[in-house]
Amino acid sequence: MKFGVVVFPGSNCDADCYHVIKHVAQQNVEYIWHKQDDVKGFDALILPGGFSYGDYLRTGAIARFSPIMPAVIEFAQRGGPVIGICNGFQILLEAGLLPGAMLRNRSLTFICDTVNLRVNRADTMFTNQYVKDQVLQIPIAHGEGNYYCDGETLKRLQDKQQIIFTYCDTEGRETAEVNPNGSVANIAGIINERGNVLGMMPHPERRSEPILGGSDGLDIFLSMIEWRQGVSMR
Amino acid sequence: MLQANIYVTLKKEVLDPQGEAVSRSLQVLGYQGVQEVRIGKFIQIILDSDDPEAASRQLEEMSDKLLANPVIEDFRVEIVAGE
């Protein structure tokens, strides 16, 4: 399986994603510079974390109009797997591939921490290696991760089971105290209705090897590989 | 040439934690009358155009596409001066 890691000016988790795919998951991976305009030959795309374009104007707002983005949008619309992590999630929101927007953290501070995440579905191409309601420990590092959407959108996300990861306590309870940034409904990650685009604020690539404290994040990438193998066997 | 001022503000229903912090700070400074503070962006654009109507349409489009995020923000375009 061949992954592409899209690199924008200011991306800073691109090398981490590349490393995890190549050396831990042992798959093919290439960087895709944001000035390229096609994604031919790739089976999955990763929009990594960082501060694309210095977060100018709004996080992800300028990256969303990079030359590579029409190809990313087309890839997603054809059903190709796309995962946006942190700044990558913000870019997916700005591009309209996922609903909602990010606001400044409720605390107004940049938060760098490890949080508990509940896996709400284990039947997606990104989570099939988990068990439903499993609690993961994954790091977060963001200043604008306060997910916002209006009531109508939230209801649609809930009805269509698009809320994949939520901030929770060690028992999996979504309490206000463990919501690190003020996100609506403790939302940490959502997928689109079709189920092939995932955006999440936590960083699974930083939690994919025991030497970094655990491998809870690795299963997201392994899920994508498992899904791909299932598709090619059909 | 035209000069435009664009004001981008968070929608009413969107919480503004930055505004709240500034509001509290103003109250601490003794400005007890401060009820609410909302923080937004002010963008100034100089446009090579002598047609205010066409410019205004273009500025609305720019705001909708890039300068503001319609999910959380409102914007107002104001053409202030021509040279």
Indicate the pTM of the whole model.
Answer: 0.94
- Are A234 and A42 contacting, i.e. CB atoms less than 8 angstroms apart? no
Residues counted in chain A: 234
- Which residue does chain A place closest to B66, by CA atoms? A61
Q: What share of chain A is helix, strand, coil (3-state, %, to 5)?
A: 30, 25, 45
Give residue limits of the domains in chain A.
2-233
- Are B69 and A58 contacting, i.e. CB atoms less than 8 angstroms apart? yes
Q: Which residue segments constitute the domains of chain B, with CATH numbers given?
A: 2-82 (3.30.1280.10)
Degrees to nearest 5, angle at CA A89 with B39 and B75: 30
pLDDT digits (tens, 9 = 90+) for A153-190: 999 999 999 999 999 999 999 999 999 999 999 999 99
At residue A91, the pLDDT reads: 98
pLDDT digits (tens, 9 = 90+) for B17-60: 899 999 999 999 999 999 999 999 999 999 999 899 999 999 99
If interface means Cβ-Cβ distance under 8 Å, which residues of chain B face chain A? 10, 13-15, 17-18, 21, 66-67, 69, 71-72
CB-CB under 8 Å, A182 with B17: yes
Q: SS3 for A140?
A: strand
- Are A126 and A164 contacting, i.e. CB atoms less than 8 angstroms apart? yes
Residue holding tokens 């890039």?
Answer: B66
- In percent, the amount of chain A with pLDDT more than 90 equals 97
CB-CB under 8 Å, A148 with B14: yes
Give chain B's end-to-end CA distance (angstroms, integer): 6
Please state the rounded mean pLDDT for residues A83-89. 98
* CB < 8 Å to B15, chain A: 103, 106, 182
Return the CATH architecture of domain A2-233. 3-Layer(aba) Sandwich (3.40)
* CB < 8 Å to A106, chain B: 15, 17
* CB < 8 Å to A99, chain B: 71
Count of Cβ atoms closer than 10 Å to residue A143 Cβ: 18
- CA–CA separation, B27 and A16 (whole Å): 45
DSSP A210: G
Residues 6+ away with beta carbon under 8 Å from A90: A59, A60, A84, A102, A144
Both tokens of A220, joined, read: 């997201």
